Structure 1
Amino acid sequence: MKHLLLIVTLLFVGLSYSNDKKGDNINDPFPKEKVVKTEHSVEINGRDIDYTATAGTSFVFNKKHEKIGNIYYTAYTKDDAKSDRPITFAYNGGPGSASVWLHMGTFGPKRVVMDKEGFMPTPPYQAVDNQYSILDLTDIVFIDPVGTGYSRAGGKGTNKDFHGTWEDIETVSEFIRLYLTRNNRWSSPKFLAGESYGTLRSAGIAYHMGQNLGVNFNGIVLISSVLNYTLDEFDHGVNIQAPITLLPTYTATAFYHKQLGNRFSSVDEAINEAKIFAMNDYALALLQGDNLSEEKRQSVATKLSELTGLSKDFILLNNLIIDMGQFVHNLRRDEGLTLGRLDSRFVTEEVDAMEQPGYRDPSYMAIHGPYTETLMDYMRSELKFESDLVYHILGGGVGSWNTKDLARDSFDMSRKLRHAMLRNPSMKVFVANGYYDMATPFFSTEYNFSHMGLPKSLQDNIMMTYYESGHMMYIRKPDLIKLKQDLNDFYQFSLSK
């Protein structure tokens, strides 16, 4: 349990936790459901899409049908659509993150304007019509789980009813069930779309709703997937998977920052060599541990230096294992720079780059302000949804997280995804990976999927895509465009008979 809590804390900094029984709901008694609808239009792929935006709150009920909280959501539905139009339920991760990133970064009809490469523009920030939205493919419902956005525990509920791996899966599933019922969408093709921890949530929801509620999904979209937290856990002398599966990301990052000389002509060439070394000589060396010969130890350290841009002496000092914190702080340490975790293309200056308590991810710092400002303005000015509650973008409403049931699954939710795919063999899975994502490394995801034990027919249901950016690959304009093209193919693939 402690391992996942540590990882969650590292994944999204700044989480705090309130022990009050009803969260930070300022209204007493528990508020009524609130729904605001507005009419809009957006041009996507040269076609005008007229749609209705619904911003509102929906009660969550326990098994006794008692109100235990409410979930804030934003739904976009195409006007005059046929009854068989697909519907996608989308959310971000954390746990503790609102759905703002997928909502305002890629899927929704509005998007935050960033620099072409995804770097932060000069404030004030703006949102524009998103011609790369998936609204031409599917209706979309963005969900803020309790403790994020405007969603709160209340009534007969407390934070403990929501803030845990299976508590979260079951209550978000309950929202989806209720939305399908109230909006007569049970016969629609159904999709889930999650980012980061939201990918773990998606695997759990597909399993839970299929097993217990009879709801099968046509497809699942996993953005920056993390289904098995143990793969990313550095435990020197015990877990050798993390250093092995992170190595290609180190190599891609070192190539981007021009720390590998002229050895490689492209990032793909560099990554391919790192993969081969990682799964062969490097893996064999780490398996031998202290029994590794000195000659082999020296040769492996030399190769690691060539692939990471770090000095051979530093690598030997760390016994051939470089954890993520060491890498981001040391690659450009001589310049006083540290790298981003969500996107290692980003850098920031630090007085002492090795002082962990002072570390601030420069890639998160670059997106936090623009996404917060534009979303808050957009909700009031265009969606006409008004509330004096704090909108928890990231952290603030979620802290302590119950992982005891996740431990039962050995921290590996891919087992539940495998079960859901076996139960529903027509379900397709889309996996988007960023080369420069240190939070959910792409090679770790490849490793996880290649060890799920799926029959060949179900392996063919998985579509892997790659982007030359990080965790939120869509902040980079060329990758936003590529992601939309890839999703066009995926929805067509998922809906084909």
Structure 2
Amino acid sequence: MTAVPKIISGLLLLCISAISAANVKQTEKLSFDIDHQITTKHKATINGTRLNYTVSTGTQPLWDNEGNPIASLHYTYYTKDKVKDLSKRPLLISFNGGPGSASVWMHIAYTGPRVLKIDDEGFPVQPYGLRDNPYSVLDTTDIVFVNPVNTGYSRVLPDSNGKMPSKELQKKQFFGVNADVKYLATWLNTFINRHDRALSPKFLIGESYGTTRVAGLAHELQNKQWMYLNGVILVSPTDIGIKREGPVKAANRLPYFAATAWYHQALSEELQNKDLLELLEEVEAYTLNHYLPALAKGAMISAQEKQSVITQVAKYAGLSELFVAQNNLDIPNSAFWKELLREREFTVGRLDSRYLGIDKRTAGDIPDYWPELTSWLHSFTPAINHYFRQELNYKTDIKYNMFGPVRPWDQTKNNVGERLRLAMAQNPYLHVMVQSGYYDGATNYFDGKYNLWHLDPSGKMKERLSFKGYRSGHMMYLRYDDLKLSNQDLRNFILKATPKAGQSAKY
């Protein structure tokens, strides 16, 4: 067990949450060790090379300014064995999103050495479980997966009198764009120093809302913890505080619509015969040069131009001209998910439009449910619980929160994109990469490109910005071909952003 300050020595087995059910007395509580670690040894073959690695999984407290423990965060830390010089070994710090999602998705489906047993396109198969990941980046970097407060096994703690903080105080401490970044930076500083990683090249990777988190953390770590990073990877990014409203928000959907329609063979023969990337290049150009200006004109657009745009948008999106006209050229995502395959009586997924759903009624303008999410939860939930207990020997009756109670979430003062730009300007070592799936309708890939275009308006840092796209959805790594490609892109990024010996951080 890691040594901890005396002030919490009597709190290591703190009871943090009452549980009640029909057969459980309300007075019974779950025992929760707020500062401990379980270590196991493993072997893997990655990129054709056999390696030994260690997994350390456990909890580490977060303290307030008076030294009182206010939360305990669960983490899983992967290290390659027999590394002589940690100053040359990168560390990848991984977060998922939500907000309120555990760091489970990238952990057991993307970068970790064990991944889900799923089919080659990412659909669940039984019996559920894990298999080796031959493409994990563990050959190149150590990895730590961190669960923010109330996700996974991480929890808010009661005070020394056993009283839980009020909801308003919890929101102020943990549940908002800026509170989240602030406390995680403090927690990471402790983790880095406990594990002797101060000299290592460091990278942050976040998925979905996790991109908001890591964009803010890059600046917070650098300017409040004096911890400088080498790279930030934004997987299926949010707007990271870079506004996309009105005509831009509407226009940016069209390339995603085209990709989805192409996948489901809903386009004309002429367009269907093009390769996806060839088609998207054409649609992106049309979006910027014609669709966006037309939307910006609003009601002042001429009847002739409007009809021309209706025809072309319908052609690219696989929709009828009547449907496009009835939406005044501005097609909501939910309407598209319902309309595209209406005649086939299917809906398409929000996070991954390769997935099909069946609604109670073919009519309507929004799907009944998200088929991709229900599909994923099939596989992830049993796999992560089995993995911790049986393979990592981490046994607790605390519930693993795939999605934890973190709302209401304070979204005010979200300027993390600008803070990331400033962190890059201050730190010549810092690189940024976006990874997006073409079939992601929640955080579409063209919005991800837009982020990069507007992250640094000066254009002076564009050589440190890169974009990678994949023929899959929000979690692009679920498709086996993209699991290999996305890990290799990540590996290349880490190697490129790790400076050569003697390379100074200067302009």
Question: TM-score with structure 1 length normalisation?
Answer: 0.90
Measured after TM superposition, the shift of residue 317 of structure 1 is 0.8
Q: Aligned to 2:199, what secondary structure does the other structure show?
A: coil
Cα distance in 1 for residues equivalent to 2:441 and 2:213? 20
Aligned to 1:171: 183
CA offsets per residue over residues 179-234 of structure 1, 9 Å max, x none? 1111111111111111111111011000111111111101111111113467566x
CA offsets per residue over residues 222-249 of structure 1, 9 Å max, x none? 111113467566xxxxx11111111100
Give 2:170's aligned amino acid: N
CA offsets per residue over residues 285-342 of structure 1, 9 Å max, x none? 1111111111111111001111101110111111111010010010001121110011
In 1, are the aligned partners of 2:73 and 2:146 still within 8 Å (CA)? yes
In 2, are the aligned partners of 1:88 and 1:138 still within 8 Å (CA)? yes
1:299-378 maps to which residues of 2 (within 5 A)?
Answer: 299-353=308-362, 359-378=368-387
Which residues of structure 1 form unaligned runs of 5+? 1-20, 234-238
Give 1:437's aligned amino acid: D
Identify if the C-alpha distance between structure 1 residues 463 and 50 changes in structure 2 by more than 3 Å, giving closer, same or farther. Answer: same
Q: How many residues are treated as equivalent by the alignment?
A: 465
Cα distance in 2 for residues equivalent to 1:296 and 1:36? 65
Give 2:254's aligned amino acid: L
1:482-497 maps to which residues of 2 (within 5 A)?
Answer: 482-497=485-500
Q: Aligned to 1:279, what secondary structure does the other structure show?
A: helix
Measured after TM superposition, the shift of residue 172 of structure 1 is 1.4
In 1, are the aligned partners of 2:36 and 2:59 still within 8 Å (CA)? yes
Aligned to 1:268: 277
Aligned to 2:135: 132
Aligned to 2:69: 67
Aligned to 2:11: none
1:105-184 maps to which residues of 2 (within 5 A)?
Answer: 105-121=109-125, 123-156=126-159, 159-160=170-171, 161-184=173-196
In 2, are the aligned partners of 1:89 and 1:176 still within 8 Å (CA)? no
Cα distance in 2 for residues equivalent to 1:276 and 1:440? 20
In 2, are the aligned partners of 1:195 and 1:224 still within 8 Å (CA)? yes
Cα distance in 2 for residues equivalent to 1:472 and 1:353? 28
Instruction: Determine which of 263, 282, 288 is the counterpart of 1:256.
Output: 263
Cα distance in 1 for residues equivalent to 2:132 and 2:282? 41
Mean Cα deviation higher: 383-392 or 25-34 = 25-34
Cα distance in 1 for residues equivalent to 2:388 and 2:330? 46
Measured after TM superposition, the shift of residue 22 of structure 1 is 6.3
Instruction: Determine which of 402, 405, 412 is the counterpart of 1:397.
Output: 405
Instruction: Determine which of 97, 101, 104 is the counterpart of 1:97.
Output: 101
Measured after TM superposition, the shift of residue 64 of structure 1 is 2.6
Cα distance in 2 for residues equivalent to 1:358 and 1:315? 19
> Is residue 2:250 matched to residue 1:243?
yes
Cα distance in 2 for residues equivalent to 1:177 and 1:441? 33
Aligned to 2:214: 202
Give 1:80's aligned amino acid: K
Q: Aligned to 1:248, what secondary structure does the other structure show?
A: helix
Cα distance in 2 for residues equivalent to 1:455 and 1:281? 25
Give 1:252's aligned amino acid: A
Measured after TM superposition, the shift of residue 30 of structure 1 is 6.9
Aligned to 1:279: 288
In 1, are the aligned partners of 2:347 and 2:367 still within 8 Å (CA)? no
**Structure possessing the higher relative contact order (Cα contacts under 8 Å, 6 or more residues apart):** 1
Give 1:418's aligned amino acid: R
In 1, are the aligned partners of 2:35 and 2:61 still within 8 Å (CA)? yes
Measured after TM superposition, the shift of residue 65 of structure 1 is 2.4
In 1, are the aligned partners of 2:433 and 2:467 still within 8 Å (CA)? yes
Aligned to 1:9: none
In 1, are the aligned partners of 2:151 and 2:402 still within 8 Å (CA)? yes
Cα distance in 2 for residues equivalent to 1:439 and 1:194? 15
Give 1:73's aligned amino acid: Y
Aligned to 1:35: 37
Instruction: Determine which of 196, 199, 219 is the counterpart of 2:231.
Output: 219
| Structure 1 vs Structure 2 CA RMSD | 1.9
Give 2:90's aligned amino acid: P
Give 2:392's aligned amino acid: L
Identify if the C-alpha distance between structure 1 residues 30 and 433 changes in structure 2 by more than 3 Å, giving closer, same or farther. Answer: closer
Aligned to 2:12: none
Q: Aligned to 1:178, what secondary structure does the other structure show?
A: helix
1:8-87 maps to which residues of 2 (within 5 A)?
Answer: 27=29, 31-81=33-83, 82-84=85-87, 85-87=89-91
Measured after TM superposition, the shift of residue 34 of structure 1 is 2.2
Cα distance in 2 for residues equivalent to 1:403 and 1:385? 34
Give 1:491's aligned amino acid: I
Aligned to 1:15: none
Mean Cα deviation higher: 314-323 or 449-458 = 449-458
Q: Aligned to 2:75, what secondary structure does the other structure show?
A: strand
Cα distance in 2 for residues equivalent to 1:166 and 1:216? 19
CA offsets per residue over residues 364-415 of structure 1, 9 Å max, x none? 1111110111111110001111111111112x42221112232xx3xxx211
Cα distance in 1 for residues equivalent to 2:371 and 2:143? 30
Aligned to 1:431: 434
Which residues of structure 2 form unaligned runs of 5+? 1-14, 20-27, 160-164, 501-507
Identify if the C-alpha distance between structure 1 residues 29 and 38 changes in structure 2 by more than 3 Å, giving closer, same or farther. Answer: closer
Identify if the C-alpha distance between structure 1 residues 247 and 297 changes in structure 2 by more than 3 Å, giving closer, same or farther. Answer: same
Cα distance in 2 for residues equivalent to 1:404 and 1:415? 14
Aligned to 2:503: none
Instruction: Determine which of 306, 313, 335 is the counterpart of 1:297.
Output: 306
Q: Aligned to 1:429, what secondary structure does the other structure show?
A: strand
In 1, are the aligned partners of 2:456 and 2:462 still within 8 Å (CA)? no
Cα distance in 2 for residues equivalent to 1:376 and 1:354? 39
In 1, are the aligned partners of 2:42 and 2:54 still within 8 Å (CA)? yes
Give 1:458's aligned amino acid: M
Cα distance in 2 for residues equivalent to 1:426 and 1:263? 45
In 2, are the aligned partners of 1:231 and 1:444 still within 8 Å (CA)? no
> Is residue 2:421 matched to residue 1:418?
yes
Cα distance in 2 for residues equivalent to 1:208 and 1:303? 45
> Is residue 2:387 matched to residue 1:387?
no
